[in-house]
Amino acid sequence: MPAHPRRLHLAAAALTTALALSLTACGGTGTGTASGAAPGPSALAAAKGAVTVTLWHGLGGPAGEALQKEIDAFNKANSGKIVVKASFQGSYADAIAKYTSAVRGDGTPTVMVTNDITTGYLRDAGQTVSAQAMAAANPDDLDLDKLRPAARSYYTADGKLLAVPLNTSMPLLYVNDKLLAKAGVDRSTLGTLQGVAAAARKIHTAVPSVKGIDQPFDDWWFEQLSAAAGAPYCTPDNGRKGTGATAASLTGDAQRTAIGTMAELYTDGVGLDTGTDGNAALSAFVAGKTAMMFNSSGAIGGLTQAGMKGYTALPYPLSSPSAGAAVGGAAMWLDQAGHSAAEQVAGWKLISYLASAPAQERFAEASGYAPINTGVDDSAAWKAFLAKNKPYAVLAKQFADTPATTATSGCLSGAMQGVRDVVVPQMQQAFSGKVPLDSALKAAEKAATQKIQDYRKQAGQ
């Protein structure tokens, strides 16, 4: 599993425009738009012969292998009834670009596994039937109440669950045990951002050759700082009501304080700038160049591969006691437009299986993601696994403890990739000391709001 699975490699502006423009094609000839009515079990029961389900995803490495293993098991258990054909579509960006083309070309998959920031676009595209509706129409399958609140909240709009999470990552704080001990850092102070900042300064003072902290400059981390401060990233309500976000919100007092706390570490020479690549941040931490690191929970796998010993994973620090981190990863969307009722129900059965406690437990152990089904918590095997793998235990507890709030739900907008593309350069300017933080935040907010408004105009919202 890569250190930061969220990274998108396509040009953000071009992709955002393509996504928005593709919405106008949804109502034309061909697939059209989803009706919203969810079919029930009788649709599958009436099917003659095995029903074929197609699934597209962007999971590579151990996660992709674990996913295929579960699909093979599902096919075996449903032999003669359902046949699932899964295909890897490249990165998350590649996968959503191909899906966008498929919407225009009448060739969408039954189930689309795509990452968190595409939620706004998938909602706007109108090709899918909601998980909420499918669960209500098929009560013997997935129990939505078993999904962890933080993950469920991220994929919910207007009180309706749109898609079912498959693989979930979260931000964590990683610390070098020896360097913290050498600097005399009290770990009980690392539960808040202010405590982490103080510790970083203490470490750099005690060991001048080592920087106190590093983090990737991917915009996910500025979104995390906002969520952990209890502040929404977009207005109104992080886009969770109505037609989604209408503007970015980056200059509130809580955000300014949180982002400013981190920015000062870098302008004061305490933080190490490793650029936008999470792997670069990880490499610096492994090499002992930094004593602490903010990185995705996916970095656990990277640290294991690097053979690093003597580190501890800790929960992501909060700026507000009632706040929490936002989830990452991807979810399973069930396409309705252009797919028969029997195929939809078969696809829902696949989604229900992949989100079940047994499948999530196996998938989590193999991939390093956090299981989204709370039923896993009752498994003796899972408890034994966590006892032997402390970083995963920290991840599991943080995931379970994260409140489902407006701030932790993240911003719902089809323009999120474009938003990220304009926010990051401004933050880099501020963290390098080239531009005052307040000026950078105002410029980022203005540019991000423009991206959102452009998307909404192109999408006819």
Q: How far apart are CA 357 and CA 461, in angstroms?
A: 39
Dihedral sign computed on CA atoms, order 363, 417, 439, 266: positive
Which residues are CB-contacts of 336 (< 8 A; sequence separation ≥ 6)?
34, 35, 127, 128, 129, 344
Looking at the predicted structure, is the pLDDT value of residue 368 above 90? no
DSSP state of 459: T
Q: How far apart are CA 132 and CA 116, in angstroms?
A: 18
Q: pLDDT tens digits, residue range 292-339?
A: 999 999 899 889 889 999 999 999 999 988 899 999 999 999 999 999
Average of per-residue pLDDT values in the chain: 91
Q: How far apart are CA 49 and CA 70, in angstroms?
A: 22
Q: pLDDT tens digits, residue range 252-266?
A: 999 999 999 999 999
Q: How far apart are CA 295 and CA 20, in angstroms?
A: 31
How far does Cα 342 stand from its chain's mean position? 30
Instruction: Tell me what percent of the residues of the chain surpass a pLDDT of 90.
Output: 84
Q: pLDDT tens digits, residue range 389-403?
A: 999 999 999 999 999
Q: What is the mean pLDDT of residues 410-420?
A: 94
Looking at the predicted structure, is the pLDDT value of residue 78 above 90? yes
- Give me the pLDDT at residue 27, please: 39
User: HEC states along 19-71?
Assistant: HHHHHHHCCCCCCCCCCCCCCCHHHHHCCCCCEEEEEEECCCHHHHHHHHHHH
pTM of the model: 0.91
Parallel, antiparallel or unpaired: strands 211-215 and 234-235: unpaired
- Give me the pLDDT at residue 19, please: 57
Q: How far apart are CA 327 and CA 123, in angstroms?
A: 18
Looking at the predicted structure, is the pLDDT value of residue 25 above 70? no
List the one residue out of 275, 331, 298, 271 whose CA is nearest residue 123: 331
Q: What is the mean pLDDT of residues 58-79?
A: 96
Q: How far apart are CA 400 and CA 168, in angstroms?
A: 12
Is pLDDT larger for residue 26 or for residue 362? Answer: 362
Q: What is the mean pLDDT of residues 141-147?
A: 98
Distances (CA, A) of 196 to 191, 192, 269, 294, 325: 7, 6, 15, 10, 16
Looking at the predicted structure, is the pLDDT value of residue 11 above 50? no
Question: Any bridge partners for residue 333, and if so which?
Answer: 112
Q: Is 4 within 8 Å of 441 (Cβ atoms)?
A: no
Residue 159 — left, alpha, or beta (φ > 0 → left; ψ -120 to 50 → alpha)? left
- Give me the pLDDT at residue 264, please: 98
Q: Residue 7: pLDDT band by 50, 70, 90 thresholds?
A: very low
Angle subtended at Cα 274 by Cα 271 and Cα 279, rounded to the nearest 5 degrees: 125
- Give me the pLDDT at residue 415, please: 95
Looking at the predicted structure, is the pLDDT value of residue 4 above 80? no
First to last CA, the chain: 37
Which residues are CB-contacts of 337 (< 8 A; sequence separation ≥ 6)?
26, 31, 32, 33, 34, 108, 126, 127, 128
Q: What is the mean pLDDT of residues 138-147?
A: 98
